[in-house]
A and B are shown apart, each in its own frame.
Chain A
């Protein structure tokens, strides 16, 4: 087994520093490390080493010419970052625009998904006949393989044979021509709606799980005291859901900001400028131009941004918890 050797560095060294001289090491101290070893090894291979490699690549001139033997790609320092952040150049402007679109996309998708999830969780909080049916129904978009749901939307959003235009213009009788939904400015609305359709059931699921741990008698006590439903929600439900909401919002933010799959399946190869989300933008910048150094630099910038935002979020949340 390679497990003990892989852990030699962290295990004994860390244990030794903690141990007072003379006290024998507790028997079986290595067990937790051995238990973690497989997880650590796989995380290293698939996440950590590629990430470090990616950061290294961002300092290289890794273009088409060097891709076969990328060990020989010349080191260019921060050049790739300068290009990506030069907002007078086409590359920089493209990245900045894509960033702006992604920020708007994330705020809308996370905010509305949370709102819908919360509304559904509260609406289904009290038992009634048929509740299980709706609970099951609402979870289907989450259970559906992501590409299957998005492809169905892609079909619905087709200009001539799609259900959306048919409903708006043939059924409702809106005046004018049927618009494109996957090309042009409408693409933004489309990708937002599809992303919400996929994400809100997750918010619903987490909030529903959270609501189950709230004892029902506090609501009874509150209604006896005359508290209106909205007040009850604000004063009791929301604070009790705080632990769930803290991780839920952060996870939804990270997933949505990094979302590649939704635009990739929805738009295919030809992504419209209005739906140019940042992961998709970087993917295209890397694979269409074969400039992987530049793509890696953009990815690192994205990672830094997410790190900073998450860090501030966690700090802010912990501070509020301490004050409360």
Chain B
């Protein structure tokens, strides 16, 4: 099949314009992280006169970035693992069983996407405070509170995506396993999970990205003890000096692990989305 000239022009123009739009902020981030402070305070230049890695050294001292990094890694990893396990069970139930309340559950889960964060931010905060006063479990200012919050944020979409993925796995597979004497749990672990690996990877990436990038609850529920990168990165600009070069350097550093992870696994992510969204 041959493309018309119009199609070719459309394709080239679209790709070129969107590439520029996409790249420029990333370029500015990378290049500004390599400039000395005076160069980011004066007029912007597309190509720096002096390149230095000093911002990448100083950024750890201006704010305790390493601590924030550790907090973010722990919170995001634990939230991702827990969210994945819980989502697997829920999606298995939704995909393989007919039971009363099934469509109610599916509808309710997706409708949480509608909730404005500001509506439950303060109540959740107060509930955490009350749990602390009544049961002595510290949830505000600890990683546990953030983990519970974040794993719940990614749950609805994860369940929805996984259920779609499980639906695409022929039922005959787990029926056959059950005939061979597997219980429902063994059928899930032995048959469905291996077949659903791209979907699981997709959900894990999604959960991790959700936790890693969350700002609103992090800014209210964290203290110096458990501050995450999302809040920590803002602290460079509340100093008397705005260290734009260090902010940009820190932005690059916090982005690299997640961007690389995402790009390596993007095929799985697209496959997982296809299963969830199209079916």
Contacts and interface: CB of A to CB of B under 8 A. Distances in A.
Is B truly associated with A?
yes
B258 to A, nearest CB: 6
A237 interface: no
B86 interface: yes
Given A123-B11, A210-B278, A147 B99 contact: no
Interface stretch (A77-85, A93-101, A155-163): A155-163
Given A54-B123, A213-B278, A141 B22 contact: yes
Interface in A63-85: 70
Contact of A146 (B117, B120, B213, B252): B213
Given A32-B99, A39-B87, A45-B148, A307 B114 contact: yes
B152 A43 contact: yes
Contact of B124 (A50, A126, A148): A50
A29 B99 contact: yes
B179 interface: no
Interface in A160-218: 160-163, 165-166, 170, 197, 201, 205-206, 208-210, 212-213
Contacts of B92: 35
A61 to B, nearest CB: 15
Given A145-B229, A306-B116, A152 B22 contact: no
B104 to A, nearest CB: 9
Interface string B261-275: 011001001110110
25 contacts: A39-B90, A39-B109, A43-B109, A43-B156, A46-B153, A53-B127, A54-B119, A123-B10, A139-B263, A142-B262, A143-B259, A145-B213, A148-B254, A155-B244, A156-B28, A205-B269, A209-B273, A209-B278, A243-B277, A254-B114, A261-B216, A264-B219, A279-B116, A286-B118, A302-B118
A50 B19 contact: no
A231 B4 CA distance: 13
Contact of A14 (B101, B112, B247): B101
B1 A219 contact: yes
Given A50-B123, A123-B15, A156-B24, 10 more contacts: A39-B87, A46-B153, A119-B10, A144-B255, A147-B230, A155-B40, A161-B40, A165-B44, A243-B278, A299-B116
| The 6 residue pairs across chains A and B that have the minimum distance between CB atoms | A50-B120, A299-B119, A143-B262, A53-B123, A46-B152, A50-B123
Given A163-B44, A260-B118, A279-B116, A46 B148 contact: yes
Interface string B1-43: 1011011001100110011011111101100100000001111
B251 A151 contact: yes
B117 A258 contact: yes
A138 B119 contact: no
Contacts of A165: 44
Interface of B: 1, 3-4, 6-7, 10-11, 14-15, 18-19, 21-26, 28-29, 32, 40-46, 85-87, 89-90, 92-94, 97, 99-102, 105, 108-109, 111-124, 126-127, 148-149, 151-153, 155-156, 159, 184, 209, 212-213, 215-216, 219, 229-230, 233-234, 237, 244, 247-248, 251-252, 254-255, 258-259, 262-263, 266, 269-271, 273-274, 277-278
A108 interface: no
B69 to A, nearest CB: 12
A8 interface: no
B147 to A, nearest CB: 11
Contacts of A323: none
Contacts of B15: 120, 123-124, 134
Contacts of B155: 39, 42-43
Contacts of B97: 31-32, 35
The majority secondary structure among interface residues of chain A is helix
B25 A153 contact: yes
A43 B81 CA distance: 17
Given A138-B18, A143-B209, A147-B213, A282 B116 contact: yes
A103 interface: no
Contacts of A244: 277-278
The majority secondary structure among interface residues of chain B is helix
Contact of A166 (B44, B86, B121, B254): B44
B234 A268 contact: yes
A185 B239 CA distance: 27
A43 B90 CA distance: 12
A15 interface: yes
B119 A302 contact: yes
A156 B230 CA distance: 19
Interface in A121-135: 122-124, 126, 134-135
Contact of B255 (A15, A145, A209): A145
Given A36-B105, A42-B148, A307-B114, A162 B44 contact: yes
A229 B4 contact: yes
B4 A47 contact: no
A258 B116 CA distance: 6
A74 B272 CA distance: 50
A236 to B, nearest CB: 14
B130 to A, nearest CB: 10
Nearest to A165: B44
Contacts of A29: 99
Interface string A28-64: 1101110110111011011101110110010000000
